[in-house]
């Protein structure tokens, strides 16, 4: 085989490999923006590829646990391996924040979370679950909508209004009667940017509320949240806020600002 022909074949192989990676990334981004999952047909429509091509890509990603089936025949969502990679990426901030999270959870006797931005969603990278009968057990590694969660809104406030519109569009999904529309959310962003503090009053799940504080670090923006049944949240909101401010001060001493 001539040197020129061998080089051409290598270039074609490299180009094909890059295309496969790009397509796989497109599939994962689409699933990231639809945490409840999508069918193969819906994924294909979103990424503009043939269903058979998407099926091959999804099968390869599923074998690596990067995506997982929701139920047989019900579509796919992002898998646990992605959450593990995110967790490993943020190991330093987790080790820095862990003691502060544990102390705040013990002080309040409520569940607390540490989150970061993951694509167009919020991802919980660490949590401490309260040891009491009525509590909120927050899923680790699960992508959550930024517009309807306290930590998501705190993180969303680091973006400009134009960037928020690019991420959410004009009509973010209404999850409960309390979920904000885009105009109301943008107005709320002004207050959050000034205070660094956000509230989710049953905007994601009826009966569950949360408050969160933004923590800029040298590893990027993170958010700590207290998540509780709404019945307790309404009585203790000021107490939660004071605890979050103390937690931020504790973490900032070690994590610095980015």
- Please tell me the pTM assigned to this model: 0.65
**How far is it, in rounded angstroms, from Cα 143 to Cα 118?**
8
Q: CA 123, 136, 146, 191: dihedral to nearest 10 degrees?
A: -120
Domain that includes residue 118, residue range: 84-255
**Do 142 and 202 fall into the same domain?**
yes
Angle at 201 between CA 197 and CA 206, to 5 degrees: 150
Burial (Cβ within 10 Å: 0-12, 13-18, ≥19) of residue 26: middle
pLDDT value, residue 16:
59
DSSP state of 70: S
Dihedral, CA of residue 209, residue 74, residue 35 and residue 179, to nearest 10: -40
Q: Does one domain contain both 100 and 219?
A: yes
Contact 47, 20 (CB under 8 A): no
Question: What per-residue confidence (pLDDT) applies to 34?
Answer: 77
CATH code at position 61:
1.10.10.10
Domain termination residue (choose one: 46, 78, 110): 78
The domain total for the chain is 2
Considering the domain architecture, whether residues 96 and 67 belong to the same structural domain is answered as no
* pLDDT at 134 (0 to 100): 79
User: Distance (Å, rounded) from C-alpha 117 to C-alpha 200?
Assistant: 17
Domain match, 58 and 179 both: no
Q: Specify whether 199 is located in the same domain as 123.
A: yes
Domain boundary among 41, 62, 78: 78
- Residue 248 tokens, joined: 């931020």
pLDDT at 105: 95
- Rounded Cα distance between 241 and 225, Å, is 9
Same domain? 39 vs 118: no
* pLDDT, block means (10 residues), the chain with 258 residues: 49 65 89 82 93 93 88 79 62 84 95 87 89 77 84 94 90 93 95 95 94 88 94 93 95 71
Residue 99 CB neighbour total at 10 angstroms: 12
Give CA 16 to chain center in angstroms.
31
């Amino acid at each position: 085989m001539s040197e020129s022909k061998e080089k051409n074949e290598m270039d074609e192989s490299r180009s094909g490999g890059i295309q496969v990676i790009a397509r796989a990334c497109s599939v994962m981004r689409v699933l990231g923006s639809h945490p409840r999952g999508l069918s193969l047909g819906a994924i294909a429509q979103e990424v503009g590829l043939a269903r058979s091509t998407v099926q091959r890509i999804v099968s390869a990603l599923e074998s690596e646990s990067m995506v997982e089936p929701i139920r047989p025949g019900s579509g796919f969502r992002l898998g646990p391996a992605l959450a593990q990679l995110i967790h490993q990426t943020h190991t330093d901030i987790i080790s820095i924040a862990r003691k502060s999270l544990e102390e705040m959870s013990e002080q309040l006797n409520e569940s607390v979370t540490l989150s970061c931005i993951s694509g167009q969603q919020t991802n919980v990278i660490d949590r401490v679950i309260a040891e009491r009968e009525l509590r909120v057990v927050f899923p680790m590694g699960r992508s959550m909508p930024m517009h309807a969660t306290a930590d998501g809104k705190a993180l969303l406030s680091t973006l400009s209004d134009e960037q928020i519109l690019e991420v959410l569009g004009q009509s973010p999904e209404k999850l409960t009667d309390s979920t904000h529309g885009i105009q109301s959310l943008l107005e709320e962003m002004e207050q959050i940017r000034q205070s660094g503090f956000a509230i989710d009053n049953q905007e994601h799940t009826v009966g569950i509320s949360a408050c969160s504080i933004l923590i800029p670090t040298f590893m990027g923006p993170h958010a700590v949240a207290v998540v509780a049944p709404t019945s307790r949240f309404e009585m203790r909101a000021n107490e939660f806020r004071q605890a979050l401010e103390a937690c931020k001060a504790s973490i900032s001493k070690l994590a610095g600002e980015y």
